[in-house]
Amino acid sequence: MRNRFHEKIVLVTGAAGNLGRAYSAAFAAEGAAVGLIDIDGEAAEAVAAKIAATGARAVGFGGDITDDSAMEALIGNCIETLGGVDILVNNAAIFDNLASYVGEGLRAPSLGTRVSTDHWRRVFEVNVFAAVTLARLCRPSMIERGGGVIVNQCSSSAWSTVGAYGVSKLAQRGVTLCLAQELAADNIRVVGIAPGLIGASQMTEELMAQKPGYKEMSHFVLDNQLIKRFANVEDLLPMVLLLSSDDGSFITGQTILVDGGFVKNIG
Ligand SMILES: NC(=O)c1ccc[n+]([C@@H]2O[C@H](COP(=O)([O-])OP(=O)(O)OC[C@H]3O[C@@H](n4cnc5c(N)ncnc54)[C@H](O)[C@@H]3O)[C@@H](O)[C@H]2O)c1
């Protein structure tokens, strides 16, 4: 096991969710102290307690990342509790109803005018604007500590751009480049990781049944990937750790696809 994040402090948003949990544990396993932020504070604390039981430093924090004043207080609290921040992982997001894609193909203009402007606004608030707010709040501590890394969790949907979710992820690719240009002078790299569909292989028949259309959609993705297996969160960990560590020290402004060739194949 490498120890690339020894003495590093990492904040992960959406840390109680599928990917956030795994990312937080992976950073901790390589020596980081981790602050786990989620709107579900109890769940964040429970995940943090599990990670802390492995001997790592992990603390859970509850808060809505779209609430600017709450975030100002929360990031202040994270910095005070953990001692600063070196790496921010903007992972939290909300989705459209994926089932709506089914039968229309991922390139169909399926969820544009048929969802409300309030829906678009909320998706952009969580998936795009909050990442900028958190970058702004973390920047002074990163500068004080000699630099840092911001990792924006994107999605292959940024290329298929279906619905508010896909468009928000496309906007996030732009935010990654914009912040990379601005923050390079502060020795802060800003990078994105864009997974394809994750976790379908772990879905039981029972869970699949609760999510109508999910099975069909996951097979659409699988059929169009060049690598013919479902992706797992473990497929993402080497890339997120590389981008966040000195192994990725010459990479900034980029969003890297980890999608089994799906986007390249659908063109
Ligand atoms: N799961 C996939 O197949 C997949 C594929 C590509 C990209 N992604 C991206 O990965 C990230 C994580 O996805 P996931 O599958 O783990 O999702 P998830 O729903 O399991 O986790 C998301 C977490 O974000 C939290 N959250 C939502 N709104 C919040 C808010 N306003 N403030 C604070 N926390 C909030 C939720 O409580 C949840 O714990 C997202 O950015 C998603 O777009 C996921």
Domain ranges in the chain are 9-266
Cα(260) to centroid of ligand 1, in Å?
Answer: 20
235 residue type, one letter:
D
How much is the average pLDDT of 138-151?
Answer: 99
Question: What whole-number distance in Å separates Cα of residue 136 and Cα of residue 129?
Answer: 11
Instruction: For residue 169, give the ligand 1 atom closest to its CA.
Output: 43
Amino acid 99: pLDDT: 47
Q: Three-state DSSP class for 154?
A: coil
In contact, 59 and 81? CB cutoff 8 Å: yes
Q: Is the pLDDT of residue 209 over 90?
A: no
Question: What whole-number distance in Å separates Cα of residue 19 and Cα of residue 127?
Answer: 15
pLDDT tier at 219 (50, 70, 90 boundaries)?
A: confident
Q: Is the pLDDT of residue 115 over 70?
A: yes
Q: Is the pLDDT of residue 206 over 90?
A: no
The per-residue pLDDT for range 156-202, each reduced to its tens digit, is: 999 987 788 999 999 999 999 999 999 999 999 999 999 999 988 77
Closest to 54 in 3D by CA, of 79, 32, 28: 28
Higher pLDDT, 28 or 106: 28
Amino acid 204: pLDDT: 72
In contact, 176 and 192? CB cutoff 8 Å: yes
The per-residue pLDDT for range 32-78, each reduced to its tens digit, is: 999 999 999 999 999 999 999 999 999 999 999 999 999 999 999 99
Amino acid 91: pLDDT: 98
Question: What whole-number distance in Å separates Cα of residue 196 and Cα of residue 214?
Answer: 14
DSSP annotation of 231: B
In contact, 11 and 87? CB cutoff 8 Å: yes
The per-residue pLDDT for range 118-129, each reduced to its tens digit, is: 989 999 999 999
CA distances from 210 to 25, 198, 207, 230, 232 (A): 28, 17, 5, 19, 20
The per-residue pLDDT for range 20-29, each reduced to its tens digit, is: 999 999 999 9
CA-atom Rg of the chain in angstroms: 18
* 165 belongs to the catalytic site: yes
Higher pLDDT, 103 or 12: 12
CA distances from 27 to 37, 63, 109, 122 (A): 14, 21, 38, 29
Q: Is the pLDDT of residue 98 over 80?
A: no
Cα(185) to centroid of ligand 1, in Å?
Answer: 30
Q: Three-state DSSP class for 135?
A: helix
How much is the average pLDDT of 218-228?
Answer: 91
pTM of the model: 0.96
Cα(58) to centroid of ligand 1, in Å?
Answer: 19
Instruction: For residue 19, give the ligand 1 atom closest to its CA.
Output: 16
Q: Is the pLDDT of residue 261 over 50?
A: yes
Strands 58-62 and 87-90: unpaired
Class (C level, CATH) for 9-266 = alpha beta
20 CB under 6 A from ligand 1? Answer: yes
Burial of 86 (0-12, 13-18, 19+ CB in 10 A): buried
pLDDT mean across residues, the chain: 92
